[in-house]
């Protein structure tokens, strides 16, 4: 079975402060991991994926297979980062099964 | 380019009524998904279709059925709606198993 856990339901930080969203996963094979974001009144959209090893909007995420984690980080949060963030895992046959965590709401205060 | 289109956007049902949520994508994607989004529960996978002609259960399939009508369309049916099925439903599609998923705008369903 594959499972994604996001332990924090809400993170509230001040503008300019660092923010880290935790994601832990359970999967017996080699997972493909993603972070998706949902801004207010917008569709859920991809933020970044571990295979790309890229930084998007200042966010980075590192896959730690030993700790089965894929935490999302940004050194200086901005007000426009306020949104709902979901960690997701592709598994199953050919990686077709896409499951999400419970989500973390980020609120960046001015 | 429409992407992923869901209909309807809003629906109110009485307990025991049936309905079908429609989803269509115009990106020639192979895989399609149905999720429900509930406060504090995140997105939970109901059913998915890895390719045309195949469907598989997700985490919460009870009370739902799906049909992959063709490559473009993937419908979700509630045969006998229950208040516990009050939720926001999202359809998604992607080209391959590990590619980016694209989401519809959601259907807000209330069962009274």
Tokens of A90: 């592709």
Best of B37, B68, B97 to disrupt the A interface by mutation (most A CBs within 10 Å)? B97
Give me the pLDDT at residue B1, please. Answer: 64
Residue pair A71/A61 in contact (Cβ under 8 Å)? The answer is yes
Tokens of B38: 């509930």
B100 at A interface, C-beta within 8 A: yes
- DSSP symbol at B83: G
Q: What is the average per-residue pLDDT within A12-17?
A: 97
B105 at A interface, C-beta within 8 A: yes
* B105–A43 C-beta distance less than 8 A: yes
The pLDDT confidence band at residue A30, using thresholds 50, 70 and 90, is: confident
At residue A18, the 3 state secondary structure works out as: coil
Tokens of B88: 């926001």
In B60-89, the residues whose Cβ lies within 8 Å of chain A are none
Above pLDDT 90, what percent of chain A? 75
Q: Tell me how far CA of residue B34 lies from CA of A7, A80, B79, B86, B103, in angstroms.
A: 24, 28, 16, 15, 10
Q: pLDDT by residue (tens digit) across A70-106?
A: 999 999 999 999 999 999 999 877 778 999 999 999 9
Give me the pLDDT at residue B39, please. Answer: 86
Give me the pLDDT at residue A83, please. Answer: 97
What residue of A is the nearest CA neighbor of B56?
A97
The pLDDT confidence band at residue A46, using thresholds 50, 70 and 90, is: very high
């Amino acid at each position: 079975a594959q499972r994604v856990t996001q332990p924090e339901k809400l993170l509230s930080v001040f503008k300019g402060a660092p923010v880290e969203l935790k994601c832990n996963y359970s999967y017996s094979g080699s997972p493909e991991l993603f972070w998706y974001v949902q801004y207010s009144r917008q569709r859920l959209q991809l933020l970044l994926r571990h295979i790309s090893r890229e930084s998007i909007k200042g966010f980075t995420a590192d896959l730690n297979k030993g700790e089965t984690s894929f935490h999302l980080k940004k050194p200086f949060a901005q007000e426009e980062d306020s949104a709902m963030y979901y960690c997701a895992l592709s598994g199953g046959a050919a990686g077709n099964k896409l499951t999400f965590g419970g989500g973390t709401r980020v609120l960046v205060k001015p | 380019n429409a992407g992923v289109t869901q209909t309807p956007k809003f629906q109110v049902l009485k307990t025991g009524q049936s309905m079908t949520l429609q989803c269509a994508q115009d990106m020639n994607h192979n895989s399609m998904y149905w999720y429900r989004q509930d406060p504090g529960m995140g997105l939970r996978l109901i059913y998915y279709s890895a390719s045309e002609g195949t469907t598989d259960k997700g985490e919460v399939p009870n009370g739902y059925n799906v049909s992959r009508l063709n490559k473009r369309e993937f419908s979700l049916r509630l045969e006998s709606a229950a208040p516990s099925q009050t939720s926001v439903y999202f359809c998604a599609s992607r080209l391959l198993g590990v590619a980016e998923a694209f989401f519809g705008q959601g259907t807000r369903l209330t069962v009274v």
